[in-house]
Amino acid sequence: MKRIIDSKRYDTETADLIHEWDNGIYGNDFKSCEETLYKTKNGSYFLHGAGGPMSKYAEPCGNNSMGGGSDIIPMDAEAAFQWLCDHGGEDPAETEFPELIKEA
């Protein structure tokens, strides 16, 4: 998927995949949701997400109905780090953002 947001191109084909996550619900289910964190060659982070008609990626499809959809969401480093921590990406979080991690 490719989108231009605020004059910046975000392209899943050319960016580096950092971490993938899904909610464990089969892809044909209305509540299915999957997200992938990417990093562009210029160091910008973005999330590519897709889901069914009862997910946060749902899109109107006419006649008062919803269908599945997808989107690209730009993220700053702190948001990308938090997303990784919240979605089982502790290892890539340590690799990508060592400066944001402190010993307990």
pLDDT at 62: 86
Domain range spanning residue 19? 2-93
> Within its chain, how far is the Cα of 81 from the centroid?
12
Do residues 19 and 96 lie in contact, with contact meaning Cβ atoms separated by under 8 Å?
Answer: no
Please indicate, yes or no, if residue 99 is contained in any of the structural domains: no
Please indicate, yes or no, if residue 40 is contained in any of the structural domains: yes
Please indicate, yes or no, if residue 98 is contained in any of the structural domains: no
User: For residue 55, which of 38, 32, 23 has the smallest C-alpha distance?
Assistant: 32
Please indicate, yes or no, if residue 104 is contained in any of the structural domains: no
How would you write the pLDDT of the chain (104 residues) with one tens digit per residue? 999 999 999 999 999 999 999 999 987 899 999 999 999 999 999 999 999 999 999 999 988 899 999 999 999 999 999 999 999 999 999 999 999 999 99
Please indicate, yes or no, if residue 82 is contained in any of the structural domains: yes
- Number of structural domains, the chain? 1
Please indicate, yes or no, if residue 12 is contained in any of the structural domains: yes
Please indicate, yes or no, if residue 25 is contained in any of the structural domains: yes
Q: Which helix (H) or strand (E) holds 60?
A: strand 59-60
* Phi-psi label, residue 95: left if phi above 0, alpha if psi -120 to 50, beta otherwise: alpha
Please indicate, yes or no, if residue 102 is contained in any of the structural domains: no
pLDDT at 41: 97
